[in-house]
């Protein structure tokens, strides 16, 4: 080995900051947290009833109730899936529209910093509310049913959509706007020719992404009776009608996978062009 | 101008231009018109299916505030009852995220097409992960409460599975974008595959892995309220109780505590993630 080269390597090695102490502190802290939390896992003894239920669940996955799965009536799986999709679609769209003004009012490059505060605070506030509580509040507005689901989806989507919109708006390329300025455009023209084209693809992509999440989470609405496939699914599980539950689950999984594939395809096309 | 005659407005069909030379060209196909029409149709259909009515919303919109108004001022004497299940929620999220993330690390390598060249194992791993990811935490928690009985164990198990599925996906997306040079150099120098992964791939992936883990912890704390609602332990059990008995002032206390915890965890996680990147 070349001695000089060796020396150079050692010098490089010595230049590397010594993170040993830092790493040890982090490892100790994490271990303490993990050990503290591990006390929560009190592995229960699975009694015969639990085993029986587990067996029933596994068996029923392969024997879904085909009457419900392919029934075209209002309580069949296809109708429920369409209702779920409709709730998620309308909810996401309303949320996406509401998020636009909120996001502009919360972006530091659009309005002064102190103006952004209420917007940012309300976004955080909305995001903390568990979905089913917003659902309960809307049920007192519209009564149980899919309309409460739409409103719930709209409000819960606003938080995340606005947060992602803000990131996009704060990344706006000022150069283009300055360029339009020097070309003599007025404010409206600047917004339509310089701002919208930059934002639109990202906004649409974010909205589709949230639609995907809303479809996935739609079963939560069933907890409070706000429409969709969630309620029949939870009710079937509650009454140990596992074959029915399996039919609903298969429908749900199928729908989520299809939506995920489409969403990924469309978003890839939006971000890379054709 | 080279253009001589224009046909149509280009709203539904591409505009046809005839140039001076006689060449005919079409403008771009106006796809956006059709997209907009489809979206409007879908909105109308969805509104019909969901019985959405703006009139109802305007007339009864104020009812939305009946519950929040009763939540404030919160009943602060309830705080002693709130703290233990809140701690349980934090514990469930911590241990659930930890185990889920640790399990996700090796599986993510199995699911990355640039590390694992065995197509069959790759496909199987990815399909299983997709299947796990399609179901929300709520459904897992419900199923586990029937098998293991009510309590924190069912909830933690649900968190573990969900975290595992989500983190694996985020991680293999990241592994597929890394620089493979050092890894291949080690392999060609005769190193074993695991050894090469630890030395050349880990340093590139770990910051992202830690950041994803912190993110999953945030997500789990936020979703843990739902877990208790189906009886899987933590603060949700109290939420279920107070809402069922319409004790909204007590629920207000729970909400304020949960809000503080979520904000604290989120700020800490954001600070740590900022340090990582």
Longest dimension (CA), chain A: 83
Distance CA B256, CA B78 (A): 12
- Note whether B136 contacts A40, CB cutoff 8 Å: no
- Note whether B60 contacts A50, CB cutoff 8 Å: no
pLDDT tens-digit series, residues B30-64 = 788 888 899 999 999 998 888 888 888 888 878 78
Shortest Cα distance, chain A CAs vs residue B181, angstroms: 19
Distance CA A155, CA A136 (A): 13
pLDDT tens-digit series, residues B226-250 = 788 788 888 888 888 888 888 888 8
- Note whether B147 contacts A46, CB cutoff 8 Å: yes
- Which residues of chain A are under the pLDDT cut of 70? 1-3, 45-46, 273-274
Q: At what angle do helices B119-134 and A242-272 cross, to 10 degrees?
A: 110
Shortest Cα distance, chain A CAs vs residue B78, angstroms: 19
Give yes or no for B135 touching A (CB within 8 A): yes
Mutation target vs B (from A52, A61, A128; most B CBs, 10 A cutoff):
A128
* Tokens found for residue B93: 């999220």
- Note whether A40 contacts B88, CB cutoff 8 Å: yes
Give the pLDDT band (50/70/90) at residue B219: confident
Cβ–Cβ < 8 Å for B260, B178: no
What's the pTM value of the predicted model, to 2 decimals? 0.85
Shortest Cα distance, chain B CAs vs residue A110, angstroms: 23
pLDDT value at B97 more than 90: yes
Angle at A100 between CA B64 and CA B41, to 5 degrees: 80
What is the arithmetic mean of pLDDT over B103-108?
Answer: 92
Distance CA A173, CA A168 (A): 10
State the complex-level ipTM.
0.82
Distance CA B172, CA B109 (A): 7
Least confident of A93-107, A206-220, B67-81, B89-103: B67-81
Give yes or no for B44 touching A (CB within 8 A): no
- Note whether A53 contacts B146, CB cutoff 8 Å: yes
């Amino acid at each position: 080995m070349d001695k000089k080269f060796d020396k150079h390597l050692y010098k490089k090695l010595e230049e590397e900051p010594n993170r040993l102490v830092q790493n040890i502190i982090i490892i100790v802290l994490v271990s303490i947290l993990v050990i503290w939390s591990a006390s929560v896992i009190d592995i229960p003894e699975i009694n015969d009833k639990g085993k029986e239920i587990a067996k029933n669940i596994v068996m029923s996955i392969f024997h879904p109730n085909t009457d419900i799965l392919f029934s075209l009536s209002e309580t069949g799986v296809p109708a429920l899936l369409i209702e779920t999709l409709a709730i998620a679609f309308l909810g996401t769209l309303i949320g996406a529209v509401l998020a636009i003004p909120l996001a502009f009012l919360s972006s530091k490059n659009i309005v002064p910093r102190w103006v952004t505060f209420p917007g940012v605070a309300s976004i955080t506030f909305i995001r903390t509310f568990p979905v089913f509580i917003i659902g309960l509040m809307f049920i007192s507005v519209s009564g149980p049913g899919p309309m409460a689901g739409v409103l719930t989806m709209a409000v819960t989507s606003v938080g995340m959509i606005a947060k992602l919109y803000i990131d996009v708006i704060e990344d706006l390329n000022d150069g283009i706007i300055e360029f339009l300025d020097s070309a003599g455009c007025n404010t409206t023209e600047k917004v339509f020719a310089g701002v919208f084209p930059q934002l639109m693809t990202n906004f649409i992509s974010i909205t589709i992404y949230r639609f995907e999440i809303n479809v996935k989470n739609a079963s939560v609405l069933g907890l409070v009776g706000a429409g969709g496939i969630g309620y029949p699914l939870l009710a079937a599980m509650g009454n140990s009608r596992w074959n029915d539950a399996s039919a609903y689950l298969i429908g749900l999984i199928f729908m989520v996978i299809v939506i995920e594939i489409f969403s990924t395809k469309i978003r890839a096309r939006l971000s890379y062009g054709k | 101008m080279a253009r001589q005659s224009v046909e149509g407005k280009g709203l539904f069909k591409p505009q046809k231009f005839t140039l001076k030379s006689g060449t005919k060209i079409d403008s771009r196909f106006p796809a956006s018109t059709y997209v907009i029409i489809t979206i409007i149709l879908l909105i109308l259909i969805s509104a019909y299916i969901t019985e959405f009515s703006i009139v109802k919303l305007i007339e009864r919109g104020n009812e939305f505030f009946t519950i929040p108004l009763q939540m404030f001022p919160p009943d602060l004497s309830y705080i002693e009852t709130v703290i233990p299940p809140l701690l349980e929620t934090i514990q469930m999220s911590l241990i659930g995220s930890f185990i889920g993330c640790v399990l996700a690390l090796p599986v993510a390598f199995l699911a990355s097409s640039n590390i694992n060249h065995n197509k069959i194992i790759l496909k199987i791993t990815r399909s299983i992960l997709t299947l796990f990811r399609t179901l929300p935490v709520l459904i897992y928690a419900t199923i586990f409460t029937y098998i293991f009985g009510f309590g924190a164990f069912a909830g933690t198990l649900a968190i573990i599975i969900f975290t595992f599925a989500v983190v694996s996906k985020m991680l293999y997306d990241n592994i597929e974008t890394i620089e493979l040079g050092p890894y291949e150099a080690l392999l060609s120098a005769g190193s074993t595959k695991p050894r090469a992964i630890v030395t050349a791939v880990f340093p590139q992936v770990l910051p992202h892995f830690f950041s994803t883990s912190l993110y999953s912890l945030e997500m789990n704390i936020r979703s843990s309220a739902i877990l208790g609602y189906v009886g899987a332990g933590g603060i949700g059990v109290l939420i279920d109780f107070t809402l069922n008995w319409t004790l909204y002032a007590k629920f207000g206390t729970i909400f304020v505590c949960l809000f503080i915890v979520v904000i604290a965890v989120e700020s800490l996680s954001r600070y740590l993630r900022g340090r990582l990147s």
